[in-house]
Amino acid sequence: MNLLDTVVQDENTSSLDKDWWRGAVIYQIYPRSFQDSNNDGVGDLAGIIHRLPHVADLGVDAIWISPFFRSPMLDFGYDVSDYRDVDPMFGSLGDFDALVVRAHELGLKVLIDLVLSHTSHLHPWFQESRSSHDNAKADWYVWADPKPDGTPPNNWLSIFGGSAWAWDGERMQYYQHNFLTEQPDLNLHNELVQQELLDVVRYWLERGVDGFRLDTINFYFHDPKLRDNPALKPEERNDTIAPSVNPYNWQDHKYDKNQPENLEFLKRFRAVLDEFPAATAVGEVGDAQYGLEIQAAYTAGNERVHMCYDFAFLSAVQPTGTRVANVLRKFEDTIGDGWACWAFSNHDVARHPTRWNLGDDAKKLYAAMLLCMRGSVCLYQGEELGLTEAYVAYEDLQDPYGIRFWPKFKGRDGCRTPIPWVSDNRNGGFSDAKPWLPMAMEHLHRSVFEQEREENSTLNFYKAMIRFRGAHLALRKGSFEIVECRDDYLSFIREHDGTRVFCAFNLANMAQPMTLPEGDWREDKGAPFEPLTTDRGITLPPYHAYFGVDDKT
């Protein structure tokens, strides 16, 4: 059944706007940790349906759901064994269909996480591919003979540690895996693989989804000559993509990803999206050296993906005013007519209040800054509650990445613990059973129930700031110009159709003066900050923002 015939058709007019994604606020749901509906300790699709009113009440435009496909769950759904079915852990296809309908009723678009660069080793495609050198899917994965001494074909490394090549004794060849050994990489140089993946895209669009988050979008193709990656100079290494304990950071990943053939595939992908009304896609660019350049190339024009994000603000580097200004300036100089999607937290990195050591006032200020940047925005579940990175004891770890590099790198479990819905329950209302990851006790006092009742809570601040963004077209779609930046201060102007919005942020724990730029400015008191004087000389309190509007053309 084609759910385009059954999904609610009389949604608000924004659903007919093919440009709705430009400036949208997208809320990421990690389904294992959002809400458990059947008390097995793992969140599921029915649980998401139950909690969707909370997401809609935030005022966001869309949800992005991390993978729920059939999977052995060695990488928690990012190792897909069936692209066209829901893992029983999360429910059924019927549950997914009901989720789409309910989200649309609440005015929320639905994006799902597609993992097109690799599959699970248990996927039937890989099982057939490894069975011989001449079967129908023999060339569907990246296979290579060993060097004469039996070692891997080249020096490519895995993000999860060690060589990116695993030996298969059945086929007597190595296969490439950029992540776990149980996640073999697909060979997108094969046209049949491309077509099968595009058919998967069409399958989910026909079920009613509004678009996709594309996992590891720059990993789709490899160098067919299998050339060695060059080394990086020690001073050029950084831990933006992999932890510093991982020698993955020692290479310039020139040949194992970021290949030019990807541009043509993205055109084919976009053509499928354009068959459907207002479908969109956001790509994850995992690269420490060329992130902005890749974003620009992948989002240029109207033939590739709509938007991309890199790890500029997902790293541990402190986002001072100078740092933020430099990233945004470089982005503006590089991106051309492309579009970014900014995020401070997600399921792969430590929560940003912990990474950047932010107190409650600073959390609010940085949220305001994020929601005023030029681009779309992704918020990660629990970010609206001001959650910090949870401590997870070694014996409770689930993430193979953390288990491998413990204790210098503790993995991704600390940002994936369950959401606290109430505070008077040891599992925070997430489940009556023992959760798959422990509920962080320090999170209970930040529960949704508690913060909804507190006027000045982080949750209510996010709601107000998202409303403020939505009230100004300049903040969602306008141009961008830096006015002033220092480590402890940043100001810029957003402009659209003759209306300018001046945004100033005091990033310091002390008051400091601010001067308005030239213009007929009036303070917009709709922002969730205490109003200030309207004199030319303004003093910004600690961790405070000022928003001025000049709408005279």
Catalytic residue, from 61, 75, 215, 399: name it: 215
Parallel/antiparallel/unpaired status of strands 376-380 and 341-343: parallel
Entry field: residues in the chain: 553
CB atoms within 10 A of CB 502: 23
Beta bridge partners of 281: 212
Assign 3-class secondary structure to 401-452. HHHHHCCCCCCCHHHCCCCCCCCCCCCCCCCCCCCCCCCCHHHHHHCHHHHH
Q: Is the dihedral of CA 399, 404, 406, 409 positive or negative?
A: negative
Query: Kindly report the CA angle at 27 between 21 and 30, in degrees rounded to 5?
Result: 130
Question: How far apart, in Å, are the Cα atoms of 524 and each of 55, 469, 501, 527, 539?
Answer: 26, 12, 9, 7, 16
Do 229 and 223 touch, CB atoms closer than 8 A?
A: no
Query: Known catalytic residue: 215?
Result: yes
Q: Do residues 153 and 147 make contact, with C-beta atoms less than 8 angstroms apart?
A: yes
User: From residue 348, how far is each of 63, 223, 231, 253, 351 by CA, in Å?
Assistant: 17, 26, 25, 20, 9
Q: What pairing do the DSSP bridges indicate for beta strands 62-65 and 109-114?
A: parallel
How deeply is 539 buried, as exposed, middle or buried, from its count of CB atoms within 10 A (0-12, 13-18, 19+)? middle
Catalytic option among 57, 275, 333, 452: 275
Q: How far is it between the farthest Cα atoms of the chain? A: 78
- 486 exposed, middle or buried (CB, 10 Å; 0-12, 13-18, 19+)? middle
Element (H, E) at 168: strand 165-168
User: CA–CA separation, 130 vs 121, rounded Å?
Assistant: 10
Q: Is 537 exposed, middle or buried (0-12, 13-18, 19+ CB in 10 A)?
A: exposed
Task: Choose among 544, 548, 547, 531: nearest CA to 366.
Answer: 544
Residue 33: DSSP 8-state: G
Bridge partner residues of 501 (DSSP): 494, 549
DSSP structural state of residue 331: H
Tokens of 384: 């609206």
Cβ-contact 227, 255 below 8 angstroms: yes
Cβ distance 209 to 112 under 8 Å? yes
Q: Which residues pair with 87 in a beta bridge?
A: none
Catalytic residues: 215, 275
